[in-house]
Structure 1
Amino acid sequence: MQITVLTATYNRAHLLGDLYDSLCRQTSKDFIWIIIDDGSSDGTKQLCGKWLHGNNGFKIEYCYIENGGKNRAINLGVTRVETPYTMIVDSDDYLVDDAIEKMNKAVASVSSMNAVAGVSGMRGESVINSLNQLQQNYIDASNLERKELGINRDCCEVYKTEILRSHPFVPWEDEKFVPEEIVWNQIALEGYKLRWFNFITCIVRYQEGGLTKGAWSLLKNNPMGYAMMFNHRLLYEKSFQNMCYNTIQMISCTILGHHMKYLLKSNNKFLTILLFPIGCVVAVRRYMQLSRK
């Protein structure tokens, strides 16, 4: 057994069943499903209890924790994974019927490649469009090379579990979310690539108030998480314009988060000093925007 499907969920009992049904339909049942319930109060525990005792053809593990955000839930889940690979699937998404079968073949193709951190299929919306799909079977590239290679759509990655364990998400101490790109791009900065395959394995359904559509709410409640993201981008951004933009955003988020000492950890201290006045203006503007939402 190579793959564990890892799902963090919070009050998604009305959607989680679609993911469960898609796992029951898998052409290969050679996987484990770990559910980390991040403090749900909508009957998720009772629903998962039924599945644990059902005849579904695959192993299910369920763990309830106090609400601490998706990042912390995923960190905990990764510590419980015993398979070599981990496939993080959101609770409002579901898999195509042969996703596990395809991913098992995909991981077999890179199992001996130390510089490859994992594999990935594509993610599609309920109405699948073919824009920006790869023009070949697969490409080996880092997460930072995706845009220039045309892989600029949502993907469904399967990472080596040991790499996820050594790269946990680190949300700010009094916040619940930090953008996941920090981890994926840090893995890329360390020289790891993924093998990106040209087939869809996961169907996404973006929810109002979810992590994708709820960006303003996330920034309002997790300004330091976003400050960390903008600061991390300064490690690899190449254009001066992008470096200035991310520096200004880092400054504004740090001001909103009331943790001014974080600016001492800037990855470009010269630009931080130079652009600090502009960052202050952006912070005031953003505060006004967030106050109206």
Structure 2
Amino acid sequence: MSDDISQPTKANPAISIIIPTYNRSAFIGEAIDSVLQQTFGDFELIVIDDGSTDETGEIVGRFEDNRLIFIQQENAGRSAARNRAIAMARGKYIAFLDSDDTYLRDKLERQVDFMERHPGIGMMYTSAQCIDADGNILKNHIYVAAASGQIYRQVAFFRPVTITLPTVMLRREVLDTVGGFDEKMERFEDTDLWRRISKRYEVGALAYPTCLLRTHDDNTLRTQNPVKIANAIEYYVDKIFREDADMDSDFLREGASRLYEYYGLAFMTVPAWRRQGLALLRKSVEFSPKRVGAIAVTAGIATLRTLKNALSKQFRTKTA
């Protein structure tokens, strides 16, 4: 597939916004429009179509704006697509948007103002509101940006603080220092980047919501492959233990335990995934045996006996 590139006229925009997309013809137009309608207009928008087979390319091609750069490539994954855009980005600041989400109109203006007033931070993020497939607000689903400063411990395992990709803005030199997205990762690649950044730089937080994050059939847990999720968790945990061996080992083990617990309990809510859920809970206990009681309580009365039976033999062995 050959590249199809439209170049903006401005040589050095303040911000480079990156949107990777794959078969998102239903949403990509709204995502792009939310960027082009920003109150802050000094930006370039790089859209990478990662091998779509639907009408995504046609929809993107309808936009006539010299700030838009459109690239089509063979499917290589969203991390590879983002990294390609990062390599060509010319902005002082880098921002991201997923092709099924949208910016609120003053998103860029608020973030640039924040970054200019806080020259010591390398990256900042904001709160975000969730919406359904039709754009309706999900009132009880919001990500709140509260933690700031040296927040490696809060974000390394994405709990207790989850930083959502579309809310982030960072300085270009930060990526030059820590590198881009890990192209081997199909999941947690954004958390992995925030982890690496937060080890070196202070992170700012703006409680004001600047993005609408869409929940739809393609991105809910039940439509995912549980084996791929489990493999992604294992890859990430192995990576963090390897790259962050200088951090406190008890913290790393507790974080890994809670990550496995979070997904194990989520898997237990899907009847067909209970076996995989128990396997993740067993991994959680391996990293932190003392937490078996808390895990059982969190799992609930309906799963308590099953969980105890599944873990009892292993737990007796570890505590004998």
TM-score by length of 2: 0.64
Q: In the aligned structure 1, how far is the partner of 2:250 from the partner of 2:195? A: 14
- Residue 174 of structure 2 is matched in structure 1 by 163
Code of the aligned partner of 1:107: M
Query: Could you give the per-residue CA deviations for residues 178-197 of structure 1, whole angstroms, max 9, x where no partner exists?
Result: 532122112222x3111111
Q: Which segment drifts farther, 237-246 or 119-128?
A: 237-246
Look up the equivalent residue of 1:21 and give its one-letter code. Answer: D
CA RMSD for the aligned pairs? Answer: 3.6
Which residue of structure 2 lines up, in the alignment, with residue 182 of structure 1? 192
3-state SS of paired residue (1:91)? coil
1:93 aligns with 2:134: no
1:112-157 alpha-carbon deviations (Å, 9 max, x no partner): x2xx21222211113255877467xx94343533699975564611
Task: Judge which range, 124-133 or 224-233, deviates more.
Answer: 124-133
AA in 2 matched with 1:180: D
Structure 1 residue 68 displacement after superposition? 1.4
Q: Which residue does the alignment assign to 1:29?
A: 41
Q: Label 1:87 to 1:143 Cα distance change in 2 as closer, same or farther (>3 A).
A: farther
Q: 1:181 to 1:139 in 2, by over 3 A?
A: closer
| CA apart distance, 1:110 | 2.6
Residues 221-232 of structure 1 aligned to structure 2 (within 5 Å):
221=228, 224-232=231-239
Gaps of 5+ in 2: 1-12, 132-136, 262-285, 288-309, 311-320
Cα distance in 2 for residues equivalent to 1:148 and 1:75: 22
Matching residue of 2:153: 144
What corresponds to 1:265 in structure 2?
Answer: none
SS in 1 for 2:99: coil
Shift of the 101–132 alpha-carbon distance from structure 1 to 2, 3 Å rule, reads closer
The 1:244–1:39 alpha-carbon spacing in structure 2 relative to 1, beyond 3 Å, is: closer
Separation in 2 of the partners of 1:139 and 1:74? 25
Aligned residues: 241
Matches within 5 A, 1:84-123: 84-111=92-119, 113=120, 116-123=121-128
Partner residue, 1:81: 89
Instruction: Read off the aligned partner of 2:197 and give its amino acid letter.
Output: I
Shift of 1:227: 2.2
Q: In structure 2, what is the Cα distance between the partners aligned to 1:121 and 1:247?
A: 23
| Residue 200 (structure 1) aligns with | 209
Mapping of 1:13-92 within 5 angstroms?
A: 13-51=25-63, 54=64, 56=65, 59-92=67-100
Q: For residues 80 and 107 of structure 2, what CA distance do their matches in structure 1 show? A: 26
Which letter maps to 1:231?
D
Note if contact 1:143-1:194 (Cα within 8 Å) is conserved in structure 2: no
Matches within 5 A, 1:240-251: 242=254, 245=257
Distance in 1 between residues matched to 2:142 and 2:229, nearest whole Å: 32
The structure where helix makes up a greater share of residues is: 2
The CA distance in 2 between the partners of 1:161 and 1:3, in whole Å, is 9
Give the secondary structure class of the aligned counterpart of 1:140. Answer: coil
Structure 1 SS opposite 2:62: helix
Query: Deviation at 1:28?
Result: 1.9
Greater C-alpha radius of gyration: 2
Question: Does the aligned pair in 1 maintain the 2:16–2:43 contact within 8 Å?
Answer: yes
Q: Identity over aligned residues, as a percent?
A: 18
- Which amino acid is the alignment partner of residue 229 of structure 1? Y
Q: Which amino acid aligns with 2:237?
A: F
Distance 1:39 1:27, change over 3 A: same
**Aligned partners of 1:132 and 1:150 also within 8 Å:** no
Matched residues in 2 for 1:12 and 1:64: separation? 14
CA distance in 1, matches of 2:145, 2:160: 7
Partners of 2:221 and 2:259 lie apart in 1 by 23
What letter corresponds to residue 161 of structure 1 in structure 2? Answer: R
TM-score (norm 1): 0.69
Say if 2:24 and 2:56, in contact at 8 Å, map to a contact too: yes
Q: Which residue of 1 aligns with 2:305?
A: none
Structure 1 residue 171, shift from structure 2 partner = 3.3
* Matching residue's letter, 2:189: P
Task: Specify every segment of 5 or more residues in structure 1 that has no aligned partner in the other structure, as ranges.
Answer: 250-270, 273-284, 286-293
CA–CA distance in structure 1, aligned partners of residues 256 and 108 of structure 2: 42
